[in-house]
Structure 1
Amino acid sequence: MTRSRKLLLTAVAGALIATPSLSQAATQSAPQRAPLTALSDLSQAVLPAGDAASNLSFDSRAALPKLAPTAAQRQAVARLGDAQVSWNASGTPRMIGVVGGALTGPSSGEPLAIAQRWLDTHRAVFGLSAADVSSLAVVRDHELPEIGATVLSFAQTFAGIESGLGAIMTVVVDRDGRVVSYAGDSVRSTGLSGAFKLTPAQALSGVVKSLVPDLKGFVAKATGEVLGGYQVFGGSVLGATQYVRKIAFPTPSGARAAYAVLAIESIDDAWAIIVDAETGRPLFRKSLVQHAEGTIYENYPGAKKGGKPKVVSFDANEQSPGGYLDPTGMVGLPGITLLGNNADAAKAWTVPLVAADQYNRTISPTGAFDFAFNDAWGTSNGATGSFVEDADAASVNLFYHHNRIHDEYYEFGFTESAGNFQLVNNEAGGTPGLGGDPIIGGAQSGALNLTSAVLALGRNNANMLTLPDGIPGFTNMYLWEFVDDAFEGEARDGDFDSTIIQHEYSHGLSNRYVGGGGLGSLGTGQSGAMGEGWGDWYAMNHLFREGLTRTAVTAPYVGDPDRGIRNWNYAKSPATYGDYGYDMSGPEVHSDGEIWTATLWTLRTAILKSVGGNQRKASDIAEHLVTDAMPLAPPTPTMLDMRDAILKASELRYKAKYTDLIWSAFASRGMGVSASTVDEADTDPVPAFDVPKKSANGTVAFKVVNASAGGPVKGVRILGGL
C-alpha cells in the first residue's frame, strides 16, 4: 500500500467520526413539521414528514393506466419457446424463465457479453431498439458463490441519463454460459422529457423547505465530494449530510428529468425524494428508515444458550481479511476504538437529533474490549442515567454482531460487487461496488430521551436507514421500558438482543441486494412486508444454525419469551397469503411480513426434515436459496415473484433436488401454483394451495346444513383464514 493510499484511508475513517458536540446537539430545538398535505395535492408539493410517515410514501406513477404488451412483443416472446413470462404494468416482461431449464444453450465468453448479446437478440421482447440496449448501464456484475452463476443488472438510460428508480434489467448466466433467467421492470419508451433547469442545490433546498418549513438558515452548500453517484452537501443547520443525484425518472411513456434527494433530518426521519428537475414538484417519495417494534452475548443475556458473556476474537478471517478493527480492511492495523472496515459503533445517546454521536466512543488502548454487563438499566427498572454503566458493553456487543452478520452474509453472496457495507472494497473481478460505507451503529440510541416532550423516539424500537451503495447506512438500538398500552415489558437494552440487531442489518441486505439494488429495490407493499419478514427469518436461521435456540421467536429478550414482539411463534403461525392485511389496522408491513417469515420457516423446516435433522446443513441450504434469490428477482417484487426467484435459485444451485419441496412449502402457505396477485401494492392477493404436480393435490368437500330446519343450504360462500 502506498503512503498516499494510507493517508486517504485515514482521512475517510476520520470523516466518519466528525460530528457535533453533545452540548450542541442537546441545545438545538427540534424543528416543527409541516401539516399533512392532502393526498390529492401530490403534484404540487412534497408531502411533509410526520408521525405517520410510513403512510406518506407515494409514487406519482401509481395512477397511470396499465399497458399491455404489444403484438410485436408477444410474437417475440413466442420465439422464446417454452419460456414462461410475467408482465409489468408498463407492458414489459417482469420475469422470464424456463422451469427446470435455461433460456439458451451453453456459450463461451464472458457472462457480461453473453447477457448483453441476449438482451440485444431479444430486444423486441422488451420493445426496445438496438440503440436502447447498447446504452444500458451496468450496475451489477456479481457472481453467486460456489455455483458459478453471474448476476448482471443493467439500468436503462434516457438521453444519456441513468434511471434513478427501477428500469432495471437483470440477466442471470450460469457457469456454462447459459442465460437461465431474466427479471426487471424496464419501460419501452426511452425518451427524456423536461430539462435540468434547477440546480442540485435548488432541488435540495426545495425539499428541505417542504420537509421542515420553519427551519431557518439552511444553505445547500456542496462539499465537492461524490458518494455512490450522489453529490454531497453539508447539513448546514439541519446537521446531517444531504445527498443529491441527477437521474431520469422512468414512466411507461418515457422518463422525466429529475433529481433524487436523500433528505436526512435525523436517523429516525430520512427520505428518498425524487423531484422534477424543471419544476421541483415531487414525483416519488419513500422512507429510508425501517423500524422494528421495538465481552459479547451470542444470543441475549440469560438465554439458555448463548446467554453468558463470551470473549471472541476480532482478528482477521476469510470474510474480513483485515479483522474488525482495521479501517483499511486489508492489513490488520490495531485499533483503539470500535471502527473497522465493516462497522463503526458509538454511543448515540442524543439521537435522533443528530445522525450519530461519533465522538462518544468506547476506547481500549490495548485493543481488548472486555467490559462487564451489569444490566443497570434492567435491575433499576429504567432509572434515569443508569444505562451509562453498561454503555461500553452495549457498544461492543453491537459492533461484534454487525461484523458477524457482515461475515455471514458475505459467505452467502452479499459481497462487494453485491453492494455490501464496507469502507474499503477488496473483491477482485466483476463490478466491485462502491466502498466508503461501513455500517454505522448507534448503541443506546436516543437514551437521553431529549425528544420525549414532543415524541418518544428514544425508546422501545430499533431502526435501519439504508442508503445507496457507497454511502454508509445507519442502524440504531434503543432502550426498552414499560409504557402503558404500548410496551408492557421489562426494562431492557436492545443492544443485547442479537435477533433485533440482525433484523435491522437485514434491511440493508434486502434493500441493496433485491432486484438490482437502488431506490426501487423494495416498495411499501408486499416487498416492504418481505423486508420485515426477511429480517426475522435470517435472525432465527442463524440462532438455529449455531444451536443457540430451538424456538422460532424474534426479540425474546425484550418481548414475550414465547412469541417475542410478533403475533406468533413462527413454527406455530397459522398465517397464509390469504390473510394478507389481517392486522386490525389493515395492511401493515410487520404483520404481513410475518406471513413471509412463516412461509420461509416452513421451507426451512421441510429442508431440515430432508437432511435428517441436521440444523447447520438445513440453515445453510435455506440461506443459500433465500439469499441467491434476491438478485434474481425484479425490483419491488411480490411474494409470488420471490417464490419464483427461490425456485430458480434452487435450480441453479441444487438442480431439481428441492423443487417439489419448495412448491409444497409455498403451497401450504397459500402461494401455490394457482395463486395470483395484481402487483406489489395488491392488498388482497388470491391464495391457492396447489402444486404443479396435479397428482399431489387433493380436494376437500364441505356440506353446509341448516342447523334449525335441517337440509342443505344453497349459495353459501366458505371463507378460511385468521
Structure 2
Amino acid sequence: MSPRTTTRRHRSALLGVTSLALVAAGLAGGQAEATTTPGAGATVAAPASAAAPGAKAASSGEAAGNYDSRAVSSPALVRRTAEVQKSRGAAAGKLADQIGGDATVSLDPVTGTPRDVTSRLGFLTGPSNRAATDVALDYVRGNLSGFGLTSADLTTLREVRSFTDINDITHVYWTQEIDGIPVFGNGLRAAIDGSGRLITVQGAPVSGVGREVRRSTEPSVSRADALDAAVADVRRDAARAGSTAERVWFMTADGLRPGWVTYTQPSGTEAYQHVIDASSGRTLYRRSTVNFEKDPAAASTSEKRGGKKGKKGKKKLPKGSALVHENYPGASGNNTGGRQHVVNLHELGYLPRRATWMRGPYASVWADLNDDDRVQEREKSKVPPRRKKAKFRLKPFPTAAGQATCSQRYVCTWDPTTPGSWRKNKNQDGVQGLYFTSKFAEWLKAAPFGFTADLGNFERAGGDEVYVNTMDGADTADGLPDGGHVNNANFNTPPDGFSPTMQMYLNVGPAYLAASSTEAFDNIGHEYTHGLSNRLVVDSMGFSTLNSYQAGGMGEGWSDLYSFDYLEKNNLISNDRRVDGELLYDRYLTKNRPFTRTAAIDCKVGDSLAPLCRQLDGEGTGGYTFGDIPGQLTTEVHNAGEVWAQTLWDIREVLGHARTMRLVTAAMTLSPDNPSMLDMRDAIITADKVIFSSANTDRLWKKFAARGFGYFAASIDGSDAEPVEDFSMPPSGTEAPGAILGTVTDTNGDPVAGALVLVAGHSSSTAGSYSDVTGADGTYVIGGVFPGTYPKVVAIADGFGNGVESATVPEGDAAVVDFALRRDWAAASGGASIASFDGVDYSIYGCGPDELIDLSLGTGWGSTTGPTEDPVTAADQVEPKSIVIALPQAVDITTIAVDPGNTCGDPGSSSTADYVLEVGATAEGPWTEAASGTFTEGDRGTLVDIPVTVPPAMSFVRYTMVSPQVPDFAGCPDAFGGCTYMDSSELAVYDD
C-alpha cells in the first residue's frame, strides 16, 4: 500500500490555501476548516498515517490526531475490563479498606494493576525518616496482592528519576525493564511528603512481565524501518528531522508487544511520539507533541508606540539595551504595560554578552521566515549595540485594506497587502520574544511554581532552551505568509532534553489585527505553559500523558490560567472581582472580541449582563460548567479548556495567586496518567492535604461543585466527551453506605451475562471498585456506595449498545437500577463481520472496515474520496465506497443507525454526507434499498437512527458512502480534507 503524500502546511483559521493578499483585500471566498474530534475525543481517534485518514495535510493543512491502541473504546479492552473486575476487584477492595478514609484504588483495565492508589483524606503510610524509595517500595512489597504484583515483578523495576520539589515532596520514578528494554507507559511512581509519609503510588506496572515477554512475538522491524513507519503514519515525503528510536515493550489489551518508541518532526508544525510494533510495523500509539493556540479561530496583535526619546548629549546606553513592552502595544483601560521602555538584556541575564543574535539561557529566538526550522543570517534579530538610544522602537502601521481597524490602542505591526512589510519590526519582534519568554521562564522557576530543571523546565544548560520562531513563515508566499502561516501559534513539547519549539505567526483580518503574535504576552505565556503541563503530567519514562480529550482541554485551560495569573499578579491587567467579563484571552489580537475564546475567563456561574459572558449558544449567560462539555460546547479541546480555566480562576479569586498556583502546579505532578478533569480535581485536593494540611479543601470543593465538578459528577475516563455534572459537596463519611443492584437484560427481557456495570466518576472507593459484572442470570450488586444520586451508571456488554441510567442510593439501603440493552446485530463482538468493502484497507492504521462495527464512536472506517488506485490525490470527483456487513443470523431489521462522523484524525468535511442503505439475504444481493439521504454536520459523533421497512429475515446490510461533507466540491483540492478522505465512524442494526 502506498503511503499518502502530504505537504507542509500549518493550520489556518481563515485562509485555507488562498492568496493572503486576496484575503486581506476581502476578495477570497474560501474558509479553511477545523479538525473536529469525534466520539469520545482525541485519545480514541484512530491513527492516520501517511496512507491513512488523518495525514491529509496536503488538502487541509491539519495534523493527524492522537491514537492509543489501549483506548477504552476498544472492544478487547471492554472485555478485559470485565475480566479485571472479576479477578482483581476483591483484592483492590481489600487494599482500599486497609487505606480507609476516602481511598482511591483505581485499576488499569489493560494491566489489571492500580493506576492510582491514594487517599484524599489521609496518607498511605505514617511519618518516617527512611529514604523515600524505601518507603514506597516497602509499601508495595507489603501489599503485593492489592497491587496484583509478585516479588519477581519488583525485580523488574529500575529507578530512573528522583527529586524533591518546592513543596518538599519527593517524587521517585521507576521503569519496568526486561533485558534492559523498558515497558512503555507502565512502571511505578511515588510521592512522599517531607515527613516521610507516602502520598500516592501510580503507574500500573505489568504483572508477570517476564512471562508476557516470553509470549510476545519476536521483533523483525529495524530501527530505520520503525522511523520510516512513524513518518509514513503522518506524512510520506518528509525528512525525519529530530528523529530518535528506542526499543520498548508495549502492553496492549491482547498482551505485550515488542515496539520502537520514536520521536519525529515530519514538518515545521508537526512532531510526534509513536510506538511502532517491532513485529508488524503497525502503529500502536501516536501522540502529537504540538499544541496550537486556537482551533481554528485566529488572534491578532496590535502595537503602540512608547518609550521616551533620548536626549542630545546623553551618555551612551550599554550594549544590549532594547525597547520592550510588558503586556502588548497600546495596552490601556484595565490593561497596562503597553508603552515601550528600556531594558538591558545582558544585565537581566537573558542574553550572554558575547551573543551575536537572540540566543540566551532560556530561549533561542529567530524569525523563521521560510519555515525551514533552521537559522539563517537574515532571520536573526540583531543584538542592540552601545548607543545613545535603545533599540528597537516598534513601527506602527496604518489601517490596511480588508483588515481590522488599527489604532493607537490596537497597533498594527505589518501590512498584509505589502510584501515584506514585516521587515520593519523583525528585530523588535525578536527582542520582544526573547524578553517575554525569558522573563516567564524565570517567573515559573520561582515560588509558588518551582518549575526547575528537576521538573523538566527549558534551559540551554540542560540542552533544551525554547526555540522561538517569530513571524514564522512570513516569507513563504513572495514576501507574504501563505495561508498556513497566519492567525495561530503553537508549542511543540518533545521529551526532556530536546528543545521545544514555539511558533508565533503573523495575523490577518478582517476579524484580527494585522500584527505579530509575539507582541502579546498572553500568547507567549499560553504557549509556554503547554510546555510546563506536558513536562509535569508524565509517566515513569517522562513522557507526557495529556492524551485524552479532557486532558487536552485541561492543557488549554492551564495555559490561559497561567497567562492571566502572570498578568494580574504583575499589575498588567486589573480584575474587579465584583465585575464579570473583564479578562478575555487574545484581547489585543481580537480587539477584545470573542473569537479565540467564546467567553472571558472571569465569567462567574449564573446570569450575567457582561457582553463577554454570553455563552457559545448565544443565549446562555455566565460562566460554563462541567455539563456544558456535552451540552453546548463542542468536543474540541479549547472549548473544554474554557470550562477548566474558568473553574480554576474561580478558585484563584478565593485563594489568591500564591496558594492557587502552588496547588494547581503541584497537582499536575500528583495526578494519574491521562487524567480526567475529575482526576485532576482530586489531585488538587490531595495537594492541599499535603501542602496546606487541607486548610483550603472545603473552599476548593465549593468552587468545584459550583462548576459542576461536585462529588457525584460522572465521567468514565479522560476520553469521555459526555460527562455529567453534579453540584454536590462530598458526603460527611458518617452516612451508612448503600448499594446499587439490578438486572441487565436485552429488550426481549432475556438476561445478559458478563455485562460490566460501572458508576462513572467513581471507579474506586473504600469498597474497591464501584463496578460489578453480571452473572448468568444478568444480576449485579455494587456495594459500599455512599448515599446520593449518581447520574451516570453504565452497562456495557458484547454485542449491545451501552445502557446509561442514574441511581439514587438511600442511606443504608439499595437503589435498584435495571438495564434493557439494545442488541446491535451489526456489532463484531456480537458475531457480525465484514463480508466485503470497496477502497483502500487502512486496517493497519486502526481505521479499517472492522472499525465501523466495533461499538465505538471513537474509531471508524476511513476510506478515500476519489478513485482507489490514486488514494493520495485530492479528488475532482467522488467515487462512492460500499461495505457489506454479515449479521450473525437472519434478522427482522427495523432500524439501522449510522454515525457518519469523521474518524482517524481526519477533518470534519471527511464525514459522510449522501448515503444509501440496502439489505439482502446473501452477500451478493440482490439488494433492497432500505434508506437513502444526506447527513449533516450536526449528525457527526452521534448514532443517527434511521427507521426502515424491509423484507424479514435479512442477513446482510450494505452501506454506501456516496459523498463527503464538503460544502463546495469544486474547490476541493485547495481547502477541505473531505476532498481526499471519506469516513464513517459506526453502523448499528436493530430489530426493536
1:538 corresponding residue in structure 2: 562
Cα shift at 1:623: 0.8
Cα shift at 1:453: 11
Task: Work out the CA distance in 1 between the residues paired with 2:695 and 2:47.
Answer: 53
| Aligned pair partner of 1:409 in 430, 440, 444 | 444
Q: Secondary structure at the match of 2:134?
A: helix
Cα shift at 1:530: 0.6
2:66 corresponding residue in structure 1: 57
| Aligned pair partner of 1:642 in 661, 680, 688 | 680
| Aligned pair partner of 1:298 in 304, 326, 341 | 326
| Aligned pair partner of 1:204 in 221, 227, 247 | 227
2:244 corresponding residue in structure 1: 243
1:419 corresponding residue in structure 2: 456
| Aligned pair partner of 2:601 in 556, 561, 570 | 570
Cα shift at 1:281: 1.1
1:169 corresponding residue in structure 2: 188
Give the letter aligned to residue 561 of structure 2: W
Task: Work out the CA distance in 1 between the residues paired with 2:386 and 2:244.
Answer: 35
Deviation larger for 566-575 or 253-262:
253-262
Matched, 1:395 2:430: yes
2:518 corresponding residue in structure 1: 495
1:580 corresponding residue in structure 2: 629
2:274 corresponding residue in structure 1: 273
Cα shift at 1:344: 0.8
Alpha carbons of structure 1 residues 41 and 114: separation in structure 2 relative to 1, 3 Å: closer
Decide which structure has the larger Cα Rg and report it.
Answer: 2
Give the structure with the larger strand fraction: 2
Q: Is the 8 A contact 2:68 2:284 kept in 1?
A: yes
**Equivalent residues in 2 for 1:124-163 (5 A)?**
124-145=145-166, 147-163=167-183
1:208-246 Cα distance to aligned partner (Å, 9 max, x none): 345433x3xxxxxxxxxxxxxxxxxxxxx7273322222
Q: Is the 8 A contact 1:80 1:103 kept in 2?
A: yes
Matched, 1:445 2:483: no
1:436 corresponding residue in structure 2: 463
Q: Secondary structure at the match of 2:602?
A: helix
Q: Secondary structure at the match of 2:241?
A: coil
2:345 corresponding residue in structure 1: 314
**Equivalent residues in 2 for 1:209-608 (5 A)?**
209-213=232-236, 215=237, 238=239, 240-252=241-253, 254-293=255-294, 294=298, 295-304=323-332, 305-314=336-345, 323-326=349-352, 334-351=354-371, 353-354=372-373, 360-364=379-383, 366=385, 370-376=391-397, 378=412, 381-382=415-416, 383-411=418-446, 412-424=449-461, 435-450=462-477, 456-482=483-509, 488-516=511-539, 518-550=542-574, 551-561=582-592, 563=594, 565-572=596-603, 573-582=622-631, 586-607=634-655
Q: Is the 8 A contact 1:558 1:564 kept in 2?
A: no
1:685-717 Cα distance to aligned partner (Å, 9 max, x none): 12111112669xxx99xxxxxxxxxxxxxxxx9
Cα shift at 1:182: 2.7
1:222 corresponding residue in structure 2: none
Alpha carbons of structure 1 residues 355 and 273: separation in structure 2 relative to 1, 3 Å: farther
Task: Work out the CA distance in 2 between the residues paired with 1:444 and 1:452.
Answer: 12
Cα shift at 1:154: 2.5
Task: Work out the CA distance in 1 between the residues paired with 2:240 and 2:191.
Answer: 42
Cα shift at 1:679: 0.7
Task: Work out the CA distance in 1 between the residues paired with 2:292 and 2:451.
Answer: 22
Task: Work out the CA distance in 2 between the residues paired with 1:310 and 1:536.
Answer: 26
Number of residue pairs matched by the alignment = 600
Give the letter aligned to residue 458 of structure 2: F
Alpha carbons of structure 1 residues 44 and 475: separation in structure 2 relative to 1, 3 Å: closer
Give the letter aligned to residue 143 of structure 2: H
Cα shift at 1:421: 1.1
Cα shift at 1:637: 0.4
Work out which structure has the larger RCO, using CA pairs closer than 8 Å and 6 or more positions apart in sequence.
2
Q: Is the 8 A contact 1:337 1:361 kept in 2?
A: yes
Cα shift at 1:570: 1.4
Task: Work out the CA distance in 2 between the residues paired with 1:581 and 1:210.
Answer: 31
What runs of 5+ residues in structure 1 fail to find an aligned partner?
Answer: 1-38, 216-236, 318-322, 327-332, 425-434, 608-617, 701-716, 718-722
Deviation larger for 516-525 or 171-180:
516-525
Identity percentage of aligned residues: 30
2:613 corresponding residue in structure 1: none
Q: Secondary structure at the match of 1:312?
A: strand
Deviation larger for 176-185 or 686-695:
686-695
Q: Secondary structure at the match of 2:247?
A: strand
| Aligned pair partner of 2:99 in 66, 69, 80 | 80
Cα shift at 1:361: 1.1
Alpha carbons of structure 1 residues 548 and 78: separation in structure 2 relative to 1, 3 Å: same
Q: Secondary structure at the match of 1:599?
A: helix
When normalised by structure 2's length, the TM-score is: 0.57
Q: Is the 8 A contact 1:395 1:443 kept in 2?
A: yes
Task: Work out the CA distance in 2 between the residues paired with 1:84 and 1:574.
Answer: 30
Task: Work out the CA distance in 1 between the residues paired with 2:125 and 2:206.
Answer: 24
Cα shift at 1:452: 11
Cα shift at 1:635: 1.4
Task: Work out the CA distance in 2 between the residues paired with 1:300 and 1:544.
Answer: 14
Q: Is the 8 A contact 2:491 2:530 kept in 1?
A: yes
Task: Work out the CA distance in 2 between the residues paired with 1:647 and 1:579.
Answer: 23
Alpha carbons of structure 1 residues 212 and 371: separation in structure 2 relative to 1, 3 Å: same
Cα shift at 1:256: 1.4
Give the letter aligned to residue 637 of structure 2: V
Cα shift at 1:519: 3.5
1:692 corresponding residue in structure 2: 730
Q: Secondary structure at the match of 2:286?
A: strand
Cα shift at 1:662: 0.6
Give the letter aligned to residue 150 of structure 1: T
Alpha carbons of structure 1 residues 189 and 396: separation in structure 2 relative to 1, 3 Å: farther
Cα shift at 1:259: 0.9
Cα shift at 1:349: 0.9
Cα shift at 1:582: 4.4
Task: Work out the CA distance in 2 between the residues paired with 1:690 and 1:379.
Answer: 50
Q: Secondary structure at the match of 1:131?
A: helix
Q: Secondary structure at the match of 1:238?
A: coil
| Aligned pair partner of 2:202 in 174, 178, 183 | 183
Task: Work out the CA distance in 1 between the residues paired with 2:345 and 2:442.
Answer: 12
Task: Work out the CA distance in 1 between the residues paired with 2:146 and 2:513.
Answer: 58
Cα shift at 1:482: 1.2
Q: Secondary structure at the match of 1:79?
A: helix
Task: Work out the CA distance in 2 between the residues paired with 1:628 and 1:240.
Answer: 34
Give the letter aligned to residue 506 of structure 2: L
1:436-469 Cα distance to aligned partner (Å, 9 max, x none): 1111100111111349999722100000111000
Cα shift at 1:100: 3.2
1:538-594 Cα distance to aligned partner (Å, 9 max, x none): 00011110111123221111014154620001111521111114466x300011111
Cα shift at 1:533: 0.8
Q: Secondary structure at the match of 1:163?
A: strand
Alpha carbons of structure 1 residues 46 and 120: separation in structure 2 relative to 1, 3 Å: farther
Cα shift at 1:92: 2.8
| Aligned pair partner of 2:115 in 94, 107, 110 | 94
Q: Is the 8 A contact 2:473 2:481 kept in 1?
A: no
